[in-house]
Amino acid sequence: MKVKNSFIGNLTPQQLIELDACTQCGQCLQFCPVQNVKSDPAISPPEKIRVFKEFIKATEGLKATLMGPDRIDIRLLVDFTKAVFECTTCGACGQHCAVGIFTQRLWPMLRKEMVRRGIGPIGGQAKMPEVIRNTGNPYNLPLMDRFSPWFPDFVKIEEKADIAYYAGCTGAYSAQPMVKGDVLVLNAIGDPFTMLGPEEEVCCGFPLFISGQHDMLEDLVRRLVGGYKAKGVKLLLASCP
Ligand code: SF4
Ligand code: SF4
């Protein structure tokens, strides 16, 4: 398959330098949990970087510039996409990288490129935008159950306040002791605070960002920012990224 469009449109100059800086030393390999379980060389950080650089070379290297883009094996593209989406994005490889590559940001941007090409995401991740659009959360749980199962009845939420609390989907649906604790601490402090309602407090967009599906991100952020602005919020406390 001849691939004409650039592979680097989603990458920052620093990320391009990082791709170039990988020495293929393998120091990160022992820290990768997926590599440890699967023993699949394709998922290793240096291999993902090497293959992605092959894509760049085929489309934007000197030969490609002078004579046109090279053929890219579709199988290689599919295998690369699988490897880049099977990564947990834990960032352990970056923390132990000999040259300090910030892999926790690099992998999502490589995912974004594969999504742009219509090859990613893989598996259930592809359903997330629709699920978030329908329920406001990535877990496909009822919107009206966002706060009611855990929010303490006696805690007062102001209509407007300088301070707001954002529970986030993971806190509200699956880490309820944590968010309940946050609210109890805020209540004990005694400063008035506000929250968006269950229809307004949508997903922060992190699951979409990390899976390379960025189309809805701006809309989610605008909805949240608009909601907090309308409540006169100056300080936002959040339990979710
Ligand atoms: S971020 Fe991905 S490649 Fe790096 S150590 Fe974690 S699972 Fe492995
Ligand atoms: S430690 Fe860094 S430079 Fe070495 S192979 Fe891993 S990503 Fe590349």
C-beta of 171 in contact with ligand 2 (< 6 A)? no
pLDDT over 60 (residue 68)? yes
Beta-carbon contacts of 23 under 8 Å, excluding residues fewer than 6 positions away, are 98, 99
pTM recorded for the entire structure: 0.88
Decide if 7 is inside a domain: no
Percent of the chain surpassing pLDDT 90: 83
Closest approach atom of ligand 1 to CA 43: 3
- Can you give 12-71 as a three-state secondary structure string? CHHHHHHHHHCCCCCCCHHHCHHHHHHCCHHHCHHHHHHHHHHHHHHHHCHHHHHHCCCE
Looking at the fold, whether 91 and 107 belong to one and the same domain comes out as: yes
Torsion angle, alpha carbons of 99, 102, 95, 33, to 10: -120
Closest approach atom of ligand 2 to CA 29: 6
Decide if 168 is inside a domain: yes
Looking at the fold, whether 53 and 94 belong to one and the same domain comes out as: yes
Q: Strand, coil or helix: what is 172?
A: helix
Residue 48: which of 17, 74, 26 has the closest Cα? 26
pLDDT over 80 (residue 84)? yes
The per-residue pLDDT for 64 is 83
Decide if 217 is inside a domain: yes
Structural domain tally of the chain?
A: 2
The per-residue pLDDT for 4 is 53
Last residue of a domain, one of 93, 120, 147: 120
Contact 163, 237 (CB under 8 A): yes
pLDDT over 70 (residue 2)? no
Output the residue whose Cα is nearest ligand 2's atom 8. Answer: 22
Q: What is the pLDDT of residues 20-55, one digit of tens each?
A: 999 999 999 999 999 888 888 888 999 999 999 999
Looking at the fold, whether 139 and 92 belong to one and the same domain comes out as: no
Last residue of a domain, one of 120, 150, 166: 120
